[in-house]
Structure formats: structure tokens, C-alpha cells
Amino acid sequence: MYHKLSIEETLKSFDVNPETGLSDKEARQRTAQEKKPSDGSSFFKFARGAISRPVVYLLIITAALSAFFGGIFSAALIFSVIVLHIIYSSECRRRGSKTIDRTISTSVTHAIVLRNGAKMKLASDELVVGDIVTIKPGRVVPADLRLISSENLVIDESALTGSASAEKDCDAEIPRDVPIEFRDNCAFEGTVVIKGRGDGVVIATGMSTEMSRLTLPLDVPEKDNSPNFSRLNRLSKRLTAITACACIAVFGISIIRKAPFVETLVSSLALAVAIIPEGMFTSALVALSKGAERLKKAGFSTKSMHAAETLGEVTVFTTDIPGIGVAATYTNGRIRTPQEEDTVPFIDGLLLCETKNPSLRTYATHKCNAEKVQEDFPRIGGLSGEVTTTLHRAGSTTISYTAGDAEEILRRSKLIWELGHIRTLNDSDREDIRAAVESFNEEGFSMTAFGFRSGDDVPCDTDLIFLGIVATSVQEKLPETPNTARLRSAGVRMYLLTESDAEKARLGAAALSLESTNIICGRELRAMTDDELWSRFSETFVFAGLRAQDKVRIINVLKSRGEVVASIGDSISDAPALDAADIGLSDIHAQDAAKDAADVIFDGAVCADEAIVYGKVMRRCIKRCVTYLAAANTAELVCVLASVVCGLGFPMTPWQILLVNLLTDTFPAHAIASGKRLVHKSVSRFAYTWGVVLGVLCVGLHFFISRLFADTELARWAVFAALVAGELILAIPVHFMGREKNVK
């Protein structure tokens, strides 16, 4: 309704002053009024999910039948197993969900908000109706806004209305009833600012926004479609079928051998409980929650449990030329992204001037041929003080570059370099430069400005020609580039996908230790079929001169062939690729469009590929845990089945069978699930062999003691002790064998 109101009427309806915005007190009051309902992530929600497992159904049926035929003790024990299983697994799931919720709170996009008369940065989920918000290029609109000012504002609303470039005008008069695509005086949550800037008053947040209303009818109940749980569900169904067959076989053989009916039935049901590893799902939940917690502590924020888990499935990692700490530059009168080309003298200055900031040197290295620049401009002198100056030989003359605080460099400059020409630095230029500095300050960036002069015999830092400003997200610290060797050892292939030309791509490949003999450029790529492209992935690891749609196509071809793709990016142009990948990763300082499309947000001080290593640890802990449980239950099945077939009767009482299961399925499995090491060596063959051998040895022990001492009770206790000891011993090599990398 606010699109049909004037700016004054809108501001009056929200009781907000456009000059000062809301006060903190008013914002808190409105937050209390708009308090969001609980999402239902309670213990009971997860308990309902745990009860729905087929394993639990079988346990309940087993307990009921056992009670019906007089096995009250066994029934009570089975019900205890069920209750403990549901409580523990539900609590693990709840804690894991809370862990993810805590990481989401650090990964939401931010908004520039006017509060108490000053602009500040707030998490978008802290906005309330009536807040005054500023939107700029590259930012995701954080809420539905009625614009109160706009300057050449163009917004990509394709996600909402299908329009890729909707021009906005705060003064546009909109009829009463028009579709949202024609509301030119409004901006909507989830859309991306392409150019221009504007201010707007928040008219809707959360589930009240147009984007939420659009997606609400499509909402369906949450499904547990994560990779590991899908596999565990399939395994659970197979185990249920195997269990039914095994129990029927044991029951039938015992009845044929004239064993007591009730004892046979109760023991068969107890065996059913023992064979099914009811701790399987619980242990998987332990691994996931521990892994999510480690991800958070390491500086990674995941937006869902599915995203955290899918990290362990990744087989392909795509990246651009390595991240270098530079967030933006200001040259030739405008702010530029790190992906855009910059003026040559400015790039040379970043490389040659010794600023003690390795991020600037690395950024310049990826923009030019560093060796040639240093060879063409050898250093012959330097000067340091409030600013840093280096003097270089440039053919028959000299050139000096000066770096320092933006205001200081501006004060020392009289001329400006603009589009290849040198002209007088006027008051309008100074205002534009200071506006860029203010914008960088709002983003929390560190800044270094550069100027130069030529023809000096000694270093000089006055009367400079202003070149530009570079803004960095991390000062004095160079984020690591993705570690190709580490990814390769984890079974992940890396590909470089960049918009830059082949020469710069080759430099990036060298930094990543990637083979760059065969480079496919965008034009060649677009002439290939998908089958031809797929055939080149085994020998080509670098793709240059790509458009955003080219990156998406490469990712889709990889996914169509069964690869699980992780992609990293930090700009608007990277957003489509991040959205197309199975897992999108972005830096916390990246543009909002990239962070909104990403599944994992990471701190600039860590390396993105570490997240994949943590994911691999989670996945392999789950795999080893399931292997241990299956091998341990194999020992129990072999022991009981072989004893019955050989005419020895049941080697343990029903409650001993259940107690073995309780002692050996829960705690050792959870210890394995809590592992911190990336283990490459498979122990499946060893574990299953151990399980079979242990079962056979227990049968032999049962036969030997029952015949030698003629004491059935003693034989059963001996088998019980041997199974417990053997399965606990099995947990040690399963947990420790093949350890390679410790993940803290």
C-alpha cells in the first residue's frame, strides 16, 4: 500500500524523521512488537522425527511381542533402548540445529542504517519497519523499502519480477492497484542494486516482504534430504530386511530343533534389536554437530546443516584468481571492483611502492607482469615518514610513487591522473575522492592512497599527481590461496574459472600450482558442445575470458556428470556460479549479492578450502562409525546364527544380547563420530573380517565351555564377555587406523 503514498505521507505513517532515523529505544520497541514466532526447533520436533525411523518401528514391535509372550524384562530393556535412542538422537539434532543457527547469525547480509542521526552497519535481520536504509551497487536490498531518495538507481529484480534492470524513481506516482513489477518507487528484499544509490524507509521485514509472500505457497515440510542421511535411510531399510530374514531363520531352525517356543521367540526378537544399529543415526548426528561446531570455531558460517554436510561430498572446487585482500579501488573518478581493469600507473604503484602491505603487491601481481614491471622500473632510492616514497629508473628519466593516508596524499597532490591524461585537481575532484573515502569507511575497509611524479633525481613526496585509492578488507595480512595439494589429497580437483585474459589466468594458475599448458578461453568454450567440454576436464584446469553464464555452464556440466561442485566468489558477477554450485563459498567482506548466493561464509583470515577438509572429516567419521556398527553387529549375528545352526542353542540370554548391543553400539560409535582427523585409509575389509572372526571365535568358546564344564550359564557369560571385549577392541583400530591430518 505504501507505493501509493507520497514520501511525506510514508514517513509520517511510520513516525520517522528522515534526517535522524529511529532512535535505539524506538527500534527496540518495534522489535518487541514484531517479534518473530518460534520456528518450532524444539526437542519434541526432533523427537517426532526420530520416532518415524523404520528402525524404531521394528524395536517397538519387538518390545510389544516380547511383553505379550511373557518377556517383561526383555520388553522393558528394549523400551529403554528406544527411549534412550530417541532422547539422545533428538538432543544431538537439536544441538546441531542450534549450532547452525548460531553460524547463520554471523552470515546474514548487512545494511547501512540511519539510527540516532548517524549511519551504522546492522545485520539485515535487525531491521524494523521505519528504519532508514541506504542501498548501493552490489548490495542486496535487505527489506522492502519505500524509496525516499534515488540517484540513477537501477535494481535487478529478476528473482522477484523477472526484470533484470528495473529503473527506480522515488518521486514516481503509482496508481492504487498495480503489480509489484510496476512499483518504481519501491525496492524489494532479495533484489540486487546494479547501479546508482538510494535511501528508503523499511515498510516490511521477514515473512511480510514480497519475496517471502512469493515463496510461501511453495513451502513444504522440511525433509531430511542430506547426502549422508539419505544413504543411512537406505542402509536402514536394507538392514531391516536382513534382520527380518535372519530372525525368521533363527526362529525356524530353533523350532525345528524342538527349542522352547517362548524362549526362542524372545531370543529371536532380542537378536533383531542387536542386529539393527539403532545408534547409527545418533552417531551421524554427533559427527554433524561436532563438525558444524568446528566449522564455526574455524571461521566458517554455514546457512544450513545440509550445506555443512555437503562439504564432505565435494569432488570439484572452482575458484577465480586467488583472493588478495583488496575489496575495491578508486581510480579515474569512480569506485571499481577488484575484478575490473585498473589504470596502468596505479597498478605499477601498488607493485613498486613499498607499503608493507602484501595484499597490495599480490593484487598488482595478478593485474600485470610483475617481473617485467620490476625489470623496467628498477628502484634507485626511497624516502619514508608520514608517507612512503620509492624512486625508480624509467628509461631516460625517473618516476617516484608515494603511498599513505588518503587525506595526506590528497593534501600533497595538485594534479590528478584521469583516463591517461594529467589535469589540475579541482575542488569537485577532492569532494568526489572524500566521498569515496567515506564510502570505504562505512564498509570498514583500510585504505591506502597513491600519487606519483617524474623527473626527480632524489625521492620527493610533494606536488604529487593523484592516482587513486585501494581499499583492503584485511590490513597487513594476506589470506591464503586455496591449497591445491591439500584438496587433491582429499580427492578434490581444482579448476580456475576467471573473467581475466589467458595471461593473467596463467599467473593465477601458477599461484594455485595448477597446470596451465592447456587453457580454454571463453570464445572456444562457447563453440564446444557439453560432451566436448566434459572430455577436456581431464587435461584442462584453467578457463579464461569467461562470462558469468560460461561459469554456470561449466559447473552444470560437471554436476550433470555426477560431480559435487564447490565454487568460491566475492562479486555480483560470481553470484550465478555460487548459486549453481552444490556449495557456494564467499568471504565475509564480499559483496552482498555473492554472500546472499553462497551457502558458506568464511572469515577473510582463513582459507576457503579448509571448509572442505572439515566436511571430509565429518563424512569419513560417519562412514567409519557405520562400518564399526555394522561389523560389530555382524559378530553378534554370526555368533547367534552359527550357534543355533550347530545345535548349541542360543549363546546368550535375550537380555545379554541386548546388553551387548547397549554397551558396544553407543559410546564407542560416538567416540568414532567425534573424530578430528581426515582419514583416507578404508578399514571396511578389516572391520568386517574382525566381526566374522569374532563371531566364529565366540561360537567356539560357547561350544568348548558348554561341553568341557557342562555349564550353559558359564558359557553364555563367557560369550557375552568375549563379544563385549572384542567389539570394544575393534573400535580402536577403526578410530585410529590411517590417521593423517588433525583438524582442531
Q: Summarize pLDDT for 472-500 with one digit per residue, the tens.
A: 864 333 344 677 777 888 889 999 998 87
List strand residue ranges (DSSP E) for 269-420, in order.
300-302, 316-319, 326-331, 334-336, 379-384, 388-394, 397-404, 413-418
The per-residue pLDDT for 570 is 76
Position with higher pLDDT, 244 vs 742: 244
Residue range(s) of every CATH 3.40.50.1000 domain in the chain: 300-323+479-605
The per-residue pLDDT for 29 is 82
Nearest to 322 by CA among 554, 471, 483, 537: 483
The per-residue pLDDT for 531 is 93
Question: What pLDDT band is residue 413 in, cutting at 50, 70 and 90?
Answer: very high
* Distance of alpha carbon 177 from alpha carbon 516, whole angstroms: 58
The per-residue pLDDT for 680 is 63
pLDDT 10s digits, 595-605:
778 888 886 55
Which residues are CB-contacts of 354 (< 8 A; sequence separation ≥ 6)?
382, 388, 390
Residue 192 C-alpha from the chain's centroid:
21
Whether the per-residue pLDDT at 345 is higher than 60: the answer is yes
Torsion of CA 652, 654, 656, 657, to 10 degrees: 80
The per-residue pLDDT for 419 is 83
Whether the per-residue pLDDT at 58 is higher than 90: the answer is no
CATH code for the structural domain at 326-472: 3.40.1110.10
Nearest to 546 by CA among 519, 570, 565: 519
Task: Look up residue 421 and give its amino acid.
Answer: H
Q: Which three cell numbers stand for residue 45?
A: 520436533
Mean pLDDT over 586-614 rounds to 76
Whether the per-residue pLDDT at 132 is higher than 90: the answer is yes
Give the percent of the chain with pLDDT over 70: 79
Position with higher pLDDT, 213 vs 735: 735
337-351, 367-381, 404-418: segment of lowest average pLDDT: 337-351
pLDDT 10s digits, 93-117:
676 566 656 655 554 567 889 998 8
Whether the per-residue pLDDT at 220 is higher than 60: the answer is no
Whether the per-residue pLDDT at 582 is higher than 70: the answer is yes
CATH code for the structural domain at 300-323+479-605: 3.40.50.1000
Nearest to 284 by CA among 214, 233, 213: 233
The per-residue pLDDT for 217 is 41
The per-residue pLDDT for 643 is 83
- Listed ranges 438-452, 603-617, 656-670; the one with the highest mean pLDDT: 438-452
Whether the per-residue pLDDT at 608 is higher than 80: the answer is no
The per-residue pLDDT for 277 is 64
Mean pLDDT over 230-245 rounds to 72
Question: What pLDDT band is residue 556 in, cutting at 50, 70 and 90?
Answer: very high
Whether the per-residue pLDDT at 307 is higher than 50: the answer is yes
* Distance of alpha carbon 423 from alpha carbon 547, whole angstroms: 35
Position with higher pLDDT, 607 vs 171: 171
Mean pLDDT over 164-189 rounds to 83
Nearest to 53 by CA among 246, 305, 288, 277: 277
Q: Which three cell numbers stand for residue 8?
A: 511525506
End-to-end CA distance of the chain: 53
H/E run at residue 290: helix 279-298
The per-residue pLDDT for 221 is 37
Whether the per-residue pLDDT at 290 is higher than 90: the answer is no
- Listed ranges 39-43, 244-248, 622-626; the one with the highest mean pLDDT: 622-626
Q: Are 636 and 722 in contact (CB under 8 A)?
A: no
Mean pLDDT over 613-631 rounds to 83
Torsional sign, CA 228, 92, 60, 253: positive
Give the percent of the chain with pLDDT over 90: 19
514-528, 634-648, 675-689: segment of lowest average pLDDT: 675-689
Question: What pLDDT band is residue 66 in, cutting at 50, 70 and 90?
Answer: low
Residue range(s) of every CATH 1.20.1110.10 domain in the chain: 233-289+615-742
Question: What pLDDT band is residue 174 in, cutting at 50, 70 and 90?
Answer: confident
Give me the architecture of the 233-289+615-742 domain, per CATH. Answer: Up-down Bundle (1.20)
Nearest to 543 by CA among 574, 527, 558, 521: 521
The per-residue pLDDT for 224 is 43
Residue that has been written with the C-alpha cell 516490511 in this structure: 204
Sheet holding 542-544, edge to edge: 300-302, 600-602, 583-587, 565-568, 316-319, 493-497, 542-544, 519-521
The per-residue pLDDT for 451 is 94
How many CA atoms within 13 Å lie on the side-chain side of 248? 6
The per-residue pLDDT for 589 is 65
The per-residue pLDDT for 687 is 87
Q: Where are the alpha helices (DSSP H) in 165-278?
A: 210-215, 227-256, 261-275
Strands 334-336 and 326-331: antiparallel
Position with higher pLDDT, 167 vs 163: 167
Average pLDDT, the chain: 80
Nearest to 307 by CA among 674, 615, 673, 617: 615
Nearest to 284 by CA among 317, 251, 337, 235: 235
The per-residue pLDDT for 34 is 60
Residue range(s) of every CATH 2.70.150.10 domain in the chain: 2-35+108-215
What are the φ and ψ backbone dihedral angles of 128, each rounded to 5 degrees? Answer: -130, 160
The per-residue pLDDT for 321 is 72
The per-residue pLDDT for 216 is 45
Position with higher pLDDT, 35 vs 280: 280
Give me the architecture of the 2-35+108-215 domain, per CATH. Answer: Distorted Sandwich (2.70)
Question: What pLDDT band is residue 433 in, cutting at 50, 70 and 90?
Answer: very high
Position with higher pLDDT, 257 vs 529: 529
Whether the per-residue pLDDT at 427 is higher than 60: the answer is yes
Position with higher pLDDT, 723 vs 370: 723
The per-residue pLDDT for 710 is 77
Q: 422: which strand partners? A: 417
* Distance of alpha carbon 415 from alpha carbon 437, whole angstroms: 18
* Distance of alpha carbon 47 from alpha carbon 50, whole angstroms: 5
Question: What pLDDT band is residue 645 in, cutting at 50, 70 and 90?
Answer: confident
